[in-house]
């Protein structure tokens, strides 16, 4: 079988395969749901998909620093800040929280099963280039300031997320 020059040219001119894109809205601030979001984000990134995670309302707590600076806030914003968990180590479970023992038991079960911790999943996602976007409107409502969030987070509103979602082949709300 012989291949002609025209056939070779046709193969060379074929458009490159477009990268797949995934978006995940992280609305919940509960450990088990956040775990699911990061497992999916890491899996998609490992498949060379472009992944954007949009953190809004309670999901912003995942991105909060454990020991943030103390920016100027209103009384209501200070109250919100004190009542909400700071960072992935302080999240509760959506079910079977057992007055705070649920997350401890879940973390032990994950270690025993040799499953990455939530913090390890977050670090892995960042290393794989997953984009983290914090919802600015939610930040305003809940009194969360940019300096209270971990480094490397982008800030945008709902329209920016919708722009990302328009280009994605999978959009998840967790």
**C-alpha distance from residue 151 to each of 63, 134, 169 (Å):** 9, 11, 28
- In this prediction, residue 74 carries a pLDDT of 85
- In this prediction, residue 4 carries a pLDDT of 56
**Nearest CA-CA partner of 130 in 56, 67, 54, 50:** 50
User: What is the model's pTM?
Assistant: 0.85
Whether 144 contacts 56, CB under 8 Å: no
pLDDT 10s digits, 108-136 = 999 999 999 999 999 999 999 999 999 99
The domain locations on the chain are 20-173
pLDDT 10s digits, 104-115 = 999 999 999 999
pLDDT 10s digits, 11-52 = 455 555 667 999 999 999 999 999 999 999 999 999 999 999
* Multiple choice CATH, 20-173, 3.40.1260.10, 1.10.760.10, 1.10.3720.10, 3.40.50.720: 3.40.1260.10
Q: What is the b/e burial string over 27-45, where b = at least 16 CB atoms within 10 angstroms of the residue's CB?
A: bbbbbbbbbbbbbbbbebb
Q: What's the residue count for the chain?
A: 174
């Amino acid at each position: 079988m012989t291949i002609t020059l025209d056939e070779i040219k046709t193969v060379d001119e074929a458009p490159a395969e477009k990268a797949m894109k995934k978006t995940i809205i992280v609305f919940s601030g509960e450990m088990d749901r956040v775990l699911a979001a990061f497992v999916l984000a890491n899996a998609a990134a490992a498949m060379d998909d472009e992944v954007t995670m949009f953190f809004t309302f309670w999901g912003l707590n995942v991105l909060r620093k454990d020991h943030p600076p103390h920016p100027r806030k209103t009384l209501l914003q200070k109250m919100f800040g004190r009542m909400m968990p700071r960072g992935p180590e302080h999240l509760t479970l959506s079910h079977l929280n057992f007055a705070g023992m649920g997350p401890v038991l879940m973390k032990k079960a994950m270690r025993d099963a040799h499953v990455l911790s939530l913090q390890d999943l977050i670090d892995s996602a960042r290393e794989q280039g997953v984009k983290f976007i914090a919802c600015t409107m939610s930040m305003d409502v809940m009194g969360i300031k940019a300096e209270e969030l971990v480094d490397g987070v982008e800030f945008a509103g709902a329209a920016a997320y919708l722009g990302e979602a328009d280009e994605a082949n999978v959009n998840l709300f967790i």
